[in-house]
Amino acid sequence: MAERIKTLRLILGDQLNHQHSWFKEEQDNLLYVFMEMRQETDYVVHHIQKITGFFSAMRNFSEYLKEREQEVIYLKINDSSNKQTLPENLNSLIFEHKIEKFEYQLPDEYRLDVQLKDFCKELSIASEVYDTEHFLTSRDDLARFYKGKKQMTMEYFYRDMRKKYEVLMVNSKDPEGGKWNFDKSNRKKWTGNPEIPHERGFRKDVSEIVREIKKAEIKSIGNIDPEKFNWPTSREDSLSVLNYFCKNLLVHFGDFQDALHTDEAYLFHSRLSFALNTKMLHPKEVIDSVISHWRENQDEIDLSQVEGFVRQILGWREYMRGIYWKEMPGYRRTNKLDNQNKLPEFYWNANTKMNCLKHSIQQSLDNAYAHHIQRLMITGNYALLTQTHPDEVDAWYLGIYIDAIEWVEITNTRGMSQFADGGIVATKPYVSSGAYINKMSNYCKGCVYDVKKKTGENSCPFNSLYWNFLDDKREFFKNNRRMAMMLNMLDKKSENELFRIKERANSIIQNPENF
């Protein structure tokens, strides 16, 4: 059989697209290869659930292809023939199977894109690259859209995408409901009602994969119950999660998408990001399913719930990917605020007295998951206010979350969360005092710190950190119109009050283990 195989096709761990045109062909001269590699497990320290999720999804997809009589080679992490790097494994397979052509799909991470381009330059056989057939934009669509514009405001890109794909449109110009954006309707605090359905669970046994990861001595973070793994790792699983979201969670998604609660990790969020980012689901089928369910249940589900969800996928997801390809490779080094501090140790163990951080980090360690407000306004907010180096923040976010792939992680972290890009993604930094956290959550209830106090031993650390940050970065933000009101309020503080604020903030920054 090996003698007939002439073309080698690589499938990366985030290219599990069952609907790709590759798999609609009838050819008997193809060899597909999947690789579990130290190259991918070790470039940052990943959550154990993230490594397990990718390995499980890759193995399931390889079995799917085998069942359809495709020739597949699967290199597991501990296989003796696994060289643990992409070029070495590919060279070995090309030689062993007398391959005459190498094909791959465009990687979504810059480092892999460069690695495969360099590999192909050295090849003595033909090579060809294909689109992943997943995203709704090409790599450079966003750069073209904003060419000549001073500010890349996401809203205008989102509206253009709505028109282009005829999503929630009355006609070619007008949005359904008369508004493009219902964001102001989606900021409710959840206090126990309505009741939140239990998340769609799988409780799969992944003990074998976990044993293999431990045998390979791969360093990881976080926790896992190997007998009750709860993430979708197949096309069937992913469709089940999508269906469950439509039927049980969509009805209140928009209302509470920014809410935070100590007892609820998922609230009404879909938990579809891992399925999307591995390409087990296509963004358009997710959007279409959600809108279709809403149309059939408009008496129960308001348009604002649906628009908020669509904006995340059709707007933010495509926008962030466009920013990534427009700004890389320089983007991963940008640090416009010149922040230099280390990320506190409690980001790896949740050992902090600050209730909001303790819950958000422990949840992340337990579930490899936190929703966007926990990431942006709790863990990200604290990292920015303590002026942490964005490299440190990137490594943590990229490692701890199951859905974190660099194209989506770095733009959200370095851009949206840390303002390290100086305003490419966001027009102002997403920072807040404890007041916002108290408004959107129950985290402040029962915390040892008083959210209403700015200084003093039991004052909320976010309060002094917030004003200290504004004072430290005053020069950088002095011409930012969106920061003018806060800087004016800062100017009204007495010299004595500002001294006490900065004293408290610097104590927190220098001794995070005490808080």
pLDDT tens, position by position, 399-444: 999 999 999 999 999 999 999 999 999 999 999 999 999 999 999 9
Q: What letter represents residue 107's amino acid?
A: P
Annotate 331-364 with DSSP letters as a single string: GGG--TT---BPPPGGGTT---S-HHHHHHHHHH
Residue 68: helix, strand or coil by DSSP?
Answer: coil
Element (H, E) at 407: helix 406-410
Low-confidence ranges of the chain (pLDDT < 70): 1-5, 185-186
Predicted pLDDT of residue 1: 43
Write the burial class of residue 473 (CB in 10 Å: 0-12 exposed, 13-18 middle, 19+ buried): buried
Q: What is the pLDDT of residue 410?
A: 97
Can you tell me the distance from the alpha carbon of 108 to that of 257, in angstroms, rounded to the nearest whole number?
27
DSSP 81: T
Q: Is 122 exposed, middle or buried (0-12, 13-18, 19+ CB in 10 A)?
A: exposed
pLDDT of residue 169: 94
d(CA 15, CA 318): 17
Closest by CA to 311, choosing from 182, 225, 406, is: 182
Per-residue burial over 302-314, b if 16 or more Cβ lie within 10 Å, else e, is bbbbbbbbbbbbb
Q: In this structure, are residues 513 and 345 in contact, taking their beta carbons and an 8 Å threshold?
A: yes
pLDDT at 185: 67
pLDDT at 163: 96
| The pLDDT value given to residue 5 | 64
Query: Positive or negative CA dihedral for 418, 424, 428, 430?
Result: negative
Q: Could you report the per-residue pLDDT of 103-162, keeping only the tens digit for each? A: 999 999 999 999 999 999 999 999 999 999 999 999 999 999 999 888 898 999 999 999
CA-closest candidate to residue 374, choices 334, 321, 411, 412: 412
Report the candidate in 144, 141, 116 with the shortest Cα–Cα distance to residue 130. Answer: 116
CB atoms < 10 A from the CB of 28, how many? 11
| Contact present, 145 and 157 (Cβ < 8 Å) | yes
102 to each of 8, 112, 408, how far by Cα in Å?
5, 16, 28
The pLDDT score that the predictor gives to residue 199 is: 79
CB contact at 8 A, 474 and 443:
no
Query: For residue 2, what pLDDT is reported?
Result: 44
**Torsion angle, CA of 432/435/437/441, rounded to 10 degrees?**
-160
Contact 223, 366 (CB under 8 A): yes
Query: What is the C-alpha separation between 220 and 146, in angstroms, rounded?
Result: 40
How many of the other CB atoms lie within 10 Å of CB of 104? 22
d(CA 336, CA 314): 29
> Position 172: which residue type?
S
Q: For 227-292, what is the HEC assignment?
A: CCECCCCCHHHHHHHHHHHHHHHHHHHCCCCCCCECCECCCCCCCCHHHHHCCCCCHHHHHHHHHH
* pLDDT, position 216: 98
